[in-house]
Structure 1
């Protein structure tokens, strides 16, 4: 029995991160189903975003207090950090609104597939502003450029080329407009990623950071609703009791639970491991929406989704070498520091010429607060 128990534990430790990431993608897929249900009951997109972010902020706030002895001191922020958090939260709220509008006008499978555009758009933006180095003589850099172009081409195929139907008879209106909304979501997501570099320099506590962003996003959604909706006071009333479980699921599981699982998985396996599972949510969403929502599938949607996923993995392949190079450079620098200390007999500080990583591990742990 002892040997059996000893054999089971290593297996569990080995596969726990993978199981956790599959659950993360499943929770993201199910939130699309929950939103579609809420739409059918009469809930507006801005309401859902505000309620979801508010519930997530409350859950994360309680979790932050519980892990820090019920003290608010670690959550204090300065003016610069607050300004950065405000802009990042605005990107979060805008991106989620665009995502849910696109989901309503296009389809769940298309909405989830376009989230894979974010890494490629982030790389393109980072290269323009100098956060990513591009060397056309390096195969990995070329792969990142090609992967970005392929991802964008896949999004164009999904948005503008529907093609013949695979099966089903549901007619989807405003397909192109929905695709534009979804690409807007990917753009906001990329801006959010870019902002993580200065934010993590000013504010390094990931749990409190996510709490602040969800809280600010809730306030921003409430202000935006005043301009977007005619009957401001009426829209916050739940038309049906069944809207409540949809909202609770979106805040507790799709944001709160996913935050903790992604945070733990990234700490064990790293951010690249987490990113590899991202396309799985598109597959799960397509299956669920076809079975339960009777979604119509088009050739353009399938080809576009496959193209985006292929481009994503090309970009990730190019980024994988960056992570290896950074770890090797850090080890070499540490070794040089030890040699200098042994030779001189004193502490000598030696810096590195490494560029600031665009997507640090702390930054990646916040992803679930956005999606």
Structure 2
């Protein structure tokens, strides 16, 4: 009965048009991102190190991705050359080290809502970068070209409004209820932090993310094994973060997981990364 149900589910999913599959996958990814902002901020509130957190995140992500990349892409994976190694290293520097590093620094100084809002500028920045590098063509005499330009303007306008306007606090309890788990600490504004510096960090995060998306396009044309590209990028990102953490994070206690909530936040961050990779596996 279980096999019958599983087969039926697979058939139903296969019957869904490919474009609809991609849209559903992207929708699921956005829900995952929403939770990621909250869970990451909760982890920072619990005192988890901003350098150790991405190290553990990328270790687990690499362990999960590498076997699938090795076995599923044996036939389509080109030989690894020095040129590809340099490109993967640069992708990791931009897409993992700078991206995740700026994000955690920005989130620590602002709020999950703000971090989520400013990320809405990523599609616009990506489109502008791709247009400047002539990877994306802008045809103002066609409907799709006008739609891209209009979408970019609206995207930047929406992110700017919610970024520049910081309204009054709706609810702020004066005292914390007793026995409240650390995961449910206030996730609002970062009190005692530098909001301006947090904005700068998050802008750097958006620029890094957009740059990573744009730089992947020419790499994937020459190295079409997507999971392998992601695994190599994750590997070099892990090495970069590990070196930075070993040099800067001198407190040995920062490398310990002190609670189940901290462990949950690490695994949730990993699942968010895996979901992003799976989006690229949906047929176009």
Shorter-chain TM-score bucket reads: 0.7 to 0.9
Kept in 2: contact 1:117–1:186 (CA 8 A): yes
- TM-score for both structures, normalised by structure 1: 0.60
Judge conservation of contact 1:118–1:189 (CA < 8 Å) in 2: yes
Tell me which residue corresponds to 2:272: 254
Whether contact under 8 Å (1:45, 1:100) holds in the other structure is yes
Task: Report the Cα distance in structure 2 between the residues aligned to 1:247 and 1:11, rounded to whole angstroms.
Answer: 30
Correspondences of 1:192-203 after superposition (within 5 Å): 192-203=212-223
Q: Does 1:108 align with 2:127?
A: no
Return the offset for 1:111.
Answer: 1.5
Q: Deviations over 1:111-135 (max 9, x none)?
A: 1232222221111112222223334
Contact 1:75 1:208 in 2 (8 A): no
Aligned mate of 2:123, from 96, 119, 123: 119
Matched residue, 2:233? 213
1:82 aligns with 2:85: yes
Aligned to 1:293: none
Q: Which residue of 2 aligns with 1:37?
A: 42
Larger radius of gyration: 1
Q: What is the distance in 2 between the residues matched to 1:117 and 1:141?
A: 18
Q: 1:28 aligns with which of 23, 29, 33?
A: 33
Flag the 1:66–1:202 CA change in 2: closer, same or farther, 3 A: closer
Tell me the residue number matched to 2:202: 182
Contact 2:41 2:111 in 1 (8 A): no
- 1:165-176 equivalence runs, <5 A: 165=169, 167-169=170-172, 171-173=189-191, 174-176=194-196
Alignment RMSD: 3.2
- C-alpha contact 2:43 2:265 (8 A) present in aligned 1: yes
Deviation per residue, 1:244-272 (Å, 9 max, x gap): 23212322x21224423x1343x0xx3xx
Equivalence for 1:144 = 148
In 2 relative to 1, CA 139–64 (structure 1 residues): closer, same or farther, beyond 3 Å? closer
Partner of 2:280: 263
Q: Whose relative contact order is higher, 1 or 2, with alpha carbons under 8 Å and at least 6 apart?
A: 2
Q: Which deviations, in whole Å up to 9, do the C-alpha atoms of 1:71-94 show, x marking residues without a partner? A: 799474111111111111111221
- Deviation, 1:39, is 1.4
User: Which residue of the partner structure matches residue 178 of structure 2?
Assistant: none
- 1:135–1:22 distance in 2 versus 1, CA, 3 Å: closer
Q: What do the CA deviations read for 1:199-248 (whole angstroms, capped 9, x no partner)?
A: 11331101111111111111111122245x35264432323343223212
Distance (Å, rounded) in 2 between the aligned partners of 1:263 and 1:54: 21
Residue of structure 2 in register with 1:130 after alignment:
134
Contact 2:138–2:145 (Cα < 8 Å) also in 1? yes
Q: 1:171 to 1:237 in 2, by over 3 A?
A: closer
Equivalent pair of 2:117/2:162 in contact (CA under 8 Å): no
Quick check: 1:160 aligned with 2:177? no
| Aligned residues between the structures | 257
**Residue in 2 aligned with 1:60?**
65
Write the distance in 1 (CA, Å) between the matches of 2:104 and 2:189.
19
Residue 69 of structure 2 contacts residue 228 of structure 2 at CA under 8 Å; is this kept in 1?
Answer: yes
Distance 1:31 1:200 in 2: 27
- Residue matched to 1:242: 261
Q: 1:39 to 1:80 in 2, by over 3 A?
A: same
